[in-house]
C-alpha cells in the first residue's frame, strides 16, 4: 500500500463537502508532477485530505477506490482523475506549522514542495501524522 496527500481549498471543496458526496473524483489537477502521482495511485491506497490556504491542515483520511482515468473536466486527455471515498475525519487536525516545526518531517513533500497538490507520503511520515492527530 502507498500513502498520499491531496490538497484543496476548503472554501471551494472541503472535507465536509467530500463526506456529503460519499465518493468523488479528484479532478482539476493541471500539474504534470501531481498528475503523475495520481497515475501511481492504486486501489486501497490511503490519502490524507489537506485544507490549503485556510486552515493549512490535514483534516481527514480518504481511500482510492478507482485508479486513474481521463479527467472529464479537462480539454486534453493528458489529465487524469482518481476516485476517492472518505474514511474518517482526524480527531485533531495536523497543521502545516506543527509539521514544519518538527524535525522528523525532514524531506516531507508538504514542506519541501508545498505548492504540489497531490504528493506521496512515506509510511514513516504517515504514522507520525496519525500519532499527532490522536
Ramachandran area for residue 28 (φ above 0: left; ψ -120 to 50: alpha; else beta): left
The total of structural domains in the chain comes to 1
In tens, the pLDDT along 4-49 reads: 999 999 999 999 999 999 999 999 999 999 999 999 999 999 999 9
CATH of the domain at 123: 3.10.590.10
Which of 34-38, 76-80, 112-116 comes out lowest in average pLDDT? 112-116
CA-based torsion, 33, 34, 35, 39: positive or negative: positive
Burial 63-84 (b: 16+ CB within 10 A, else e): bbeebbeebeebeeeebbbbbb
Could you tell me the pTM of the whole model?
0.96
Contact assessment for residue 87 and residue 63, using Cβ atoms and an 8 Å cutoff = yes
Q: CA 107, CA 44: separation in Å to the nearest integer? A: 25
Residue 3 has pLDDT above 90, yes or no: yes
Nearest to 5 by CA among 92, 123, 132, 117: 117
Average pLDDT of the segment spanning 123-130: 98
Percent of the chain with pLDDT over 90: 98
Cβ–Cβ under 8 Å, residues 5 and 47:
yes
Q: Give the pLDDT confidence score for residue 130 in this predicted structure.
A: 98
Domain range for 36: 3-133
Q: Cα(59)–Cα(79) distance, rounded to whole angstroms?
A: 26
Over 90: is that where the pLDDT of 114 sits? no
Mean pLDDT of the chain, nearest integer? 97
Amino acid at each position: 500500500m502507498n500513502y498520499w496527500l491531496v490538497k484543496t481549498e476548503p472554501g471551494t471543496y472541503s472535507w465536509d463537502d467530500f463526506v456529503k458526496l460519499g465518493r468523488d473524483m479528484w479532478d482539476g489537477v493541471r500539474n504534470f508532477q501531481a498528475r503523475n502521482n495520481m497515475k501511481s495511485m492504486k486501489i486501497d491506497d490511503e490519502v490524507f485530505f489537506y485544507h490549503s490556504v485556510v486552515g493549512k491542515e490535514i483534516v481527514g483520511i480518504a481511500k482510492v477506490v478507482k485508479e486513474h482515468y481521463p479527467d472529464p473536466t479537462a480539454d486534453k486527455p493528458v489529465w487524469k482523475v482518481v476516485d476517492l471515498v472518505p474514511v474518517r475525519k482526524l480527531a485533531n487536525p495536523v497543521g502545516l506549522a506543527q509539521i514544519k516545526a518538527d524535525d522528523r518531517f525532514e524531506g516531507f513533500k508538504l514542506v519541501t514542495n508545498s505548492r504540489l497538490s497531490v504528493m506521496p507520503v512515506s509510511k514513516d511520515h504517515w504514522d507520525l501524522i496519525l500519532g499527532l492527530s490522536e
